[in-house]
Structure 1
Amino acid sequence: MSVRLEVCVDSPEGLAAAIAGGADRIELCAALDLGGLTPPAGLMALAAKAPIPVYAMIRPRAGNFVYDGDNEAAMLADVDAARTAGLAGVVIGASCADGTLDLPLLTRLSERAKDMGVTLHRAFDLVPDPIQALEQAIELGVERVLTSGLQVKALDGLGTLKVLADLAADRLSIMPGSGINIFNVERIVSETGVHEVHSSCRVPLEAVDQKAVNFGFQPSASYQTNSVTVLQMRNLLDMIGNKG
């Protein structure tokens, strides 16, 4: 059983580290500390040169996933920008006020990305009924659902992740994400039976520019995707796959 590794990155350095470490796919973002926002055009253009598929996060702002018409217009334009840049796919999500998936908006976004790959992001983790939401995601035609099993961290949502993976079968992929690292990935894969995982593979930056921190240009604690960590995760997933 092959287990694929998607690495989320938000900088040119992170992109290079993910590729060097052996990631199978990139989720390209801005502001990972906010859960990931739409990456800028320049980063999309750089990522389009990558030797592996790159999916752009389509999220116009921090906060919830309830979007008005202006946000929708921005998201549709960002889908177009990802296609123009030459990226393989997009990562979308939208909620109604009650947490259910905003199917009309998701349908419009999916149709706009009809010639690209589509991942449904962790807006899924806010739904009141994950089984219903899974069937809706399948009906939308997305390739995969990025989810932590409706918990803050995937390790706490293993039961739901397994149920979702079993129900999804070969109709779409359930991809666990949130808090996945080299210390827990084997348990997560073995207990859920998933075929791909999502991780930032980030480590704390040893050197922080204190002047930049003082001016508010950099947070006091910064993290960056690390190629050695990506490689360790890649090797672990290969070992798990060989066992299977």
Structure 2
Amino acid sequence: MSRPTARVLEIAAGSLVSALAAQQGGADRVELCEALEIGGTTPSYGTLALARERLRIPLFVLIRPRPGDFVYDAHEAEVMLRDIETCVRIGCDGIVAGALDADGDIDEPLCRQLLAAAGLLPVTFHRAFDVVSNPAAALERIAALGFSRLLTSGGRASAEQGSALIAACVEQVQGRLQVMPGGGLDEGNIARVASLTRAREFHASAKVRRTSAMRAPSVVLPGLSTSWSETDAVRVRVLRDALDALDAG
């Protein structure tokens, strides 16, 4: 169970190593995914199963079958539903999902299917919200459909830049769901975003760059990199302490 706190810190973890670092640093919840550098996709079964075995804090799972937009065809929808069924079967604590239509509105039929597949698990509507055509109308649909929370950067590149829209969303929903700022949150701005938005839950990745121990390859393959990002327990702890300081004050 998550530690008792007035403000919740969710960490987007792009691997099992990152998920364990999030737990070590004091996160309240993990959103598990892969490929954070392209906005995140659904994690592999192995990553998911081991995270479920080893995490003591709630585990939410991103359901996103590919990078790109959030308009899904029937094949992609079937993949998403099967992935949610897997999450339910192995005992995950929540789902992170969402879908839009070609006009930038909420894809209500598919969202209803996703929610039904999740059963009693809470479902977060992810940052597909940040590209909807009418945020106020989309927010009403998200709440009416039964999503538990909304992850958003306020339609901007970062939650700090989008804090005005996030605050408007918090005011609009009046507690019907949690509005969770996410996107570019770090120790330098999380307190300011908390103050500006009046949100109670926050989403960050707390990443640092890791460098490979591999000697330089003689052939450089497309997409091959000698560095990557992982969640860092120390950075998570700094964020945790920043939120706790707001409550203490």
State the secondary structure of the residue aligned to 2:129.
Answer: helix
Distance in 1 of aligned mates of 2:98 and 2:227: 28
Distance in 2 of aligned mates of 1:206 and 1:38: 24
1:208–1:221 contact (8 Å) kept in structure 2: no
Distance in 2 of aligned mates of 1:218 and 1:197: 32
**2:197 is aligned with what amino acid?**
T
Equivalences for residues 213-232 of structure 1 within 5 A: 214-216=220-222, 218-232=224-238
Does residue 1:234 correspond to 2:236, yes or no? no
1:203–1:223 contact (8 Å) kept in structure 2: yes
Q: Which residue of 1 aligns with 2:175?
A: 170
Q: Which residue of 2 aligns with 1:26?
A: 30
Q: Which residue of 1 aligns with 2:152?
A: 147
Q: Deviations over 1:70-94 (max 9, x none)?
A: 0000000000011122111110111
What is the count of residue pairs matched by the alignment?
Answer: 243
Uncovered stretches (5+) of structure 1, i.e. residues with no partner: none
Aligned mate of 2:111, from 91, 106, 121 = 106
State the 1:218 CA deviation.
3.9
**1:37 is aligned with what amino acid?**
T
Q: Which residue of 2 aligns with 1:62?
A: 67
Q: 1:137 to 1:216 in 2, by over 3 A?
A: same
Q: Which residue of 1 aligns with 2:83?
A: 78
Uncovered stretches (5+) of structure 2, i.e. residues with no partner: none
2:212–2:227 contact (8 Å) kept in structure 1: no
State the secondary structure of the residue aligned to 1:205.
Answer: strand
Q: Which residue of 1 aligns with 2:9?
A: 5
Distance in 2 of aligned mates of 1:155 and 1:213: 41
Equivalences for residues 27-42 of structure 1 within 5 A: 27-42=31-46
State the 1:123 CA deviation.
0.5
Q: Deviations over 1:170-195 (max 9, x none)?
A: 11000000111111101000111000
Distance in 2 of aligned mates of 1:52 and 1:218: 33
State the secondary structure of the residue aligned to 2:162.
Answer: helix
State the 1:213 CA deviation.
8.9
Q: Give aligned-pair identity as a percent.
A: 38
State the 1:215 CA deviation.
3.4
Distance in 2 of aligned mates of 1:218 and 1:122: 28
State the 1:63 CA deviation.
0.6
2:194–2:200 contact (8 Å) kept in structure 1: yes
State the 1:211 CA deviation.
3.1
Q: Output the TM-score relative to the length of structure 1.
A: 0.95
State the 1:214 CA deviation.
2.6
- Over the aligned positions, Cα root-mean-square deviation in angstroms equals 1.6
1:100–1:126 contact (8 Å) kept in structure 2: no
Distance in 1 of aligned mates of 2:83 and 2:219: 30
**2:168 is aligned with what amino acid?**
V
2:211–2:226 contact (8 Å) kept in structure 1: no
State the secondary structure of the residue aligned to 1:7.
Answer: strand
Q: Output the TM-score relative to the length of structure 2.
A: 0.93
2:123–2:149 contact (8 Å) kept in structure 1: yes
**2:120 is aligned with what amino acid?**
D
Q: Deviations over 1:131-173 (max 9, x none)?
A: 1111111111111000000112111111101010111121100
**2:90 is aligned with what amino acid?**
A
